[in-house]
Amino acid sequence: MTRRLLAPAVLAAAALTLSACGGGASNSSSGTPSGTTGTAATSSSAPTSTSTTATSSAGSATTGHSPSTSTGSTATAGSVLPNPTGYSTPTSVMPVGNGCVPARLSVSSVGIDGEQVVAMGTNAQGQIYPPPKTTMWYDKSAQLGTSGRTVIAGHVTYDGPDEFYDLDRVRTGAPVDITCTDGRHLTYTVTDKRSELKTKVTTDQQVWGGSSSPVLVLITCDKNSPLIGQHHLNNYLVWAEPAAS
């Protein structure tokens, strides 16, 4: 596809409310960005076209804004989506303890093969909003392999299909393979998935809450959800846990 940004994860308060879609400014105590929610006028991470917007209790992420190529139906007036004005920016993060900073992501069953993962924070609006053709790890979320929730966001469309375009086709039980910056390889297994209103994602503790075990959350926009302008109302969320050894 000619690619376009995801709306914040659903990339929501942290990502990719990915389309991972707009998130808000980061809350140091919780690791979730603060800001407007995924369906608010200024969602935390959602691009203005096809961002996937996901939001935490304090914010949202956009990683799936959908331009004219989107397959979603047009939403009726009354719902407002995030409107990011800038992208998240790369950061430099070192592994802590046995933590894994993701460098590559593969979900081969849906055509995501060795996508580069870039550590990023929020944009100037406090949103998670990756640039086009960019898969981002929200750097305030947990490092892979450690207790907590790791958020990775990307777009479904941006001037065409983007990296997470077919994420909604993934099946429960499918493998998710991660290569770490230190060369290690980790495999997770998809345990759950669903489409969720970006405004709801902002307070979804299954995305931004704590966890006593490692949980990976992939966020993008739901390309089949209604549109307001060029923004989808929903994020698409996928959860995965470490594969049994």
**Checking phi first, is residue 233 left (phi over 0); if not, alpha (psi -120 to 50) or beta?**
alpha
Sketch the domain layout of the chain as residue ranges.
9-242
d(CA 87, CA 120): 10
d(CA 172, CA 26): 31
d(CA 12, CA 44): 7
Contacts of 22 (CB under 8 A, 6+ apart): 7, 8, 11, 12, 35, 36, 38, 42, 43, 44, 45, 46, 47, 51, 53, 54, 55, 59, 60, 61, 62, 82, 84, 125, 127, 128, 129, 198
pLDDT of residue 61: 54
- Return the CATH number of 9-242, one of 1.10.3720.10, 3.90.1150.10, 2.40.260.10, 3.30.300.20: 2.40.260.10
pLDDT of residue 128: 86
pLDDT of residue 82: 62
As a whole number of Å, the CA-based R_g of the chain is: 15
What is the mean pLDDT, run by run of 10 residues, along the chain of 245 residues? Answer: 33 37 32 34 28 38 41 44 80 94 97 96 88 94 96 89 94 98 97 94 92 97 86 93 91
